[in-house]
Amino acid sequence: MKNFIDTLTINAIKVLSAEAIEKASSGHPGLPLGSAPMAETLWAKFLKHDPACPDFPDRDRFILSGGHGSMLLYSLLHLFGYGLTIDDLKSFRQLGSLTPGHPEYRHTVGVEATTGPLGAGMAMGVGMAIAEKHLASVFNKEGFPVVDHFTYVLGGDGCMMEGISSEAFSLAGTLGLGKLIVLYDSNNISIEGNTNIAFRENVRKRFEAYGFQTILVEDGTDTEAITKAIEEAKSDLTKPSLIEVKTLIGAGCPAKEGTASAHGEPLGESNIAALKENIGWTEEPFTVPDEVYDYCRKIAESNHSFTEKWNRLFEEYRAKYPDMAELWDKYFKDDLANTLFDNPDFWAVPDKAMATRNVSGDLINHIKGILPNMFGGAADLSPSTKTYMKELGDFSAENPSGSNMHFGVRELAMAGIGNGIMLHGGLKSFVSTFFVFSDFLKPMARLSSIMGLPLTYVLTHDSIGVGEDGPTHQPIEQLATFRSMPNFNTFRPADVTETAAAWYSALTSKNTPTALVLSRQNLPQLAGSSKEALKGGYIISDSKKDVPDGILMASGSEVSLAIEAQGILLTKGYDVRVVSMPCMDIFDDMPEEYRNSVLPKEVRKRVSIEALSTFGWGKYTGLDGANIGMTTFGASAPASQLFEKFNITTENVVNTFMAL
């Protein structure tokens, strides 16, 4: 049963969504029409949110994982006073509007995550719930629940089909994330028709196996049943909850409801008229009754008490627990990472060769003593990726205060969860796996870059230097793939100093994720390496000439090889410069004057060396240069033999340069 004002508000959401999609001649009306009752119930009755202070720390998080149904979210944001106007709704999917086709984080106030790739929002919701649980264990004191909120995720059959949701929810159940509530818009329709053609499993049974509390709402229009379901979900904090709400896609539109055509195309003017007649809507287009605005405004005004209450609570907390309040500021406000620049221990160079993965492991354990909010882990590989933080414990259902995350063998969900942790705020997070398995997590790394989240990816076993494990474990094209992503910094450091620079860059980044691509094999410490690595590319060993005879350039393990070749070439009468290029992305953003000083245009004899794909180096070596690297997959053999087999040798560098 629904009261009059709730019915009117639900209908307003439906009509606004349908009209905006019709005006754009593009969009997905099915989800907004079918999910409007559950969304309105959540936002009006349960969601702890405050349009006047949309970022207050203890708000509930709401993620629309089925991002194609964005007009549902935009209608809610408009009605509840988040600043979206009717004109914004009329500009749905238009260039520069605040209402793009899928919700975009940092673009529209009230949007907690960029969603669109189905299932991604589910994983990010798990990450947010992990962050909430961990931060609550760190900061809450008796009588002072300064971290105490829920994470709600709404998605449909497509989200449930994508493998990322299975990965993420398996972990959520294992971790006992009791403040995670998943609203499942269960309508049995996908783009190609009824889901029976490809999806017949019992989703609730699957979630029971994960360790979820599962609840069924038989009628998606029954707001009383939806209310009871959410109350039941909130009452059990020992396990996450799935609320399956049986809905009709396109509900209310007689010719479209329950059909695949309702999913992803405008209803059409005649069907919108039929929708309005069916629900008794008599308003002009893009017009909402004053009663609805008044109702939503009163809820929003009342919800400001959440912010005021939390502010008062935190003032008392600060007075009673000043040390904890100071720690809170370090988690949420301080830029402690900047202090690493002048920290001699952070930049200390040992007198021995080291694998950069081992260097990174030492740095992580140094950083954790300076940044108390370091939180992260690996996809079951921390002994190999060297990402375990000593003495900080393991995050688990039993020990939420632990800072080491065990993601299990779930690379895709790991990256999505990492995004959610960063979206939540308060933690400096990293995720880790072998570089070749970055293929599994690439879609979520792409979302990191789109959202501008400075999540750190620690990706080890960086080249054919992996050796005996063979082609399946030797990355070739992955480095070029990551370098091709906009707003993503990919570092492949050559030694201790460059690895420290990579970590410093990652930790101080505000809006750009970073991948640290690290070696398995030991690498020598290079005399010329320096903090100049923070510029992405720099002269590590220069020619004695004002204009060098040529330039050798490399990254990672091949920089030392280039320096060896430089010495041999000098004996043959060629005085060349060696450039280390740990991060093309940053180098390419440097001023032209600096780039020209490193790679003078008049020096056209250039050779790149990298034990991965040569793709991408041509922009530096040009038509007159040469690129030494991999044009095939690798082979199973000791690393030293592989470098010989594939001609990534000092001798080949020398001969290639001389042939120019």
Q: Tell me the C-alpha distance between 215 and 154, whole Å.
A: 14
41 neighbors 227 (Cβ within 8 angstroms): yes
The closest of 415, 478, 477 to 449, measured between CA atoms, is 415
Mean pLDDT of all residues in 192-199: 96
Q: Are 197 and 225 in contact (CB under 8 A)?
A: no
For tokens 């691509």, name the residue. Answer: 517
Residue 1's pLDDT is what?
40
Average pLDDT for residues 423-432, to the nearest whole number?
98
Instruction: Give the Cβ contact number of residue 338 at 10 Å.
Output: 11
> Amino acid identity, residue 349?
V
Tokens of 425: 């705020």
Q: Among 493, 435, 498, 490, which residue's Cα sits nearest to residue 466?
A: 435
For 59, which DSSP code?
A: P
Give the pair of three-digit tokens for residue 568: 């041999």
Q: Is 70 exceeded by the pLDDT of residue 474?
A: yes
Percent of the chain at pLDDT > 70 equals 100
- Give every CB contact of residue 310 below 8 A, 6+ residues apart in sequence: 56, 57, 58, 146
Strands 577-580 and 538-541: antiparallel
- 2, pLDDT greater than 70: no
pLDDT at 609 over 50: yes
Does residue 533 surpass a pLDDT of 80? yes
pTM to 2 decimal places: 0.98
Q: Tokens 């033999």 map to which residue?
A: 641
Integer Cα distance of 495 and 600 in angstroms: 25
pLDDT per residue as tens digits for the range 49-59? 999 999 999 99
Q: Concatenated DSSP letters for 64-127?
A: ESSGGGHHHHHHHHHHTTSS--HHHHHTTT-TT-SS-SS--TTTSTT--S---STTHHHHHHHH
How does strand 456-460 pair with strand 489-491?
unpaired
- Is there a contact between 26 and 93 (Cβ–Cβ < 8 Å)? yes
Read off the amino acid at residue 637. A
DSSP 604-625: --EEEEEEEE-TTTHHHHTTT-
Mean pLDDT on 274-297? 98
Structure confidence at residue 633 as a pLDDT band (50, 70, 90): very high
Q: Is 325 helix (H, G, I), strand (E, B) or coil?
A: helix
Catalytic residues: 411
Whole-number Cα distances in Å, 362 to 22, 324, 342, 350: 57, 28, 18, 11
- The 10s digit of each residue's pLDDT in 63-75 is 999 999 999 999 9
| Mean pLDDT, all residues of the chain | 97
- Under the banding of pLDDT at 50, 70 and 90, the label for residue 334 is confident
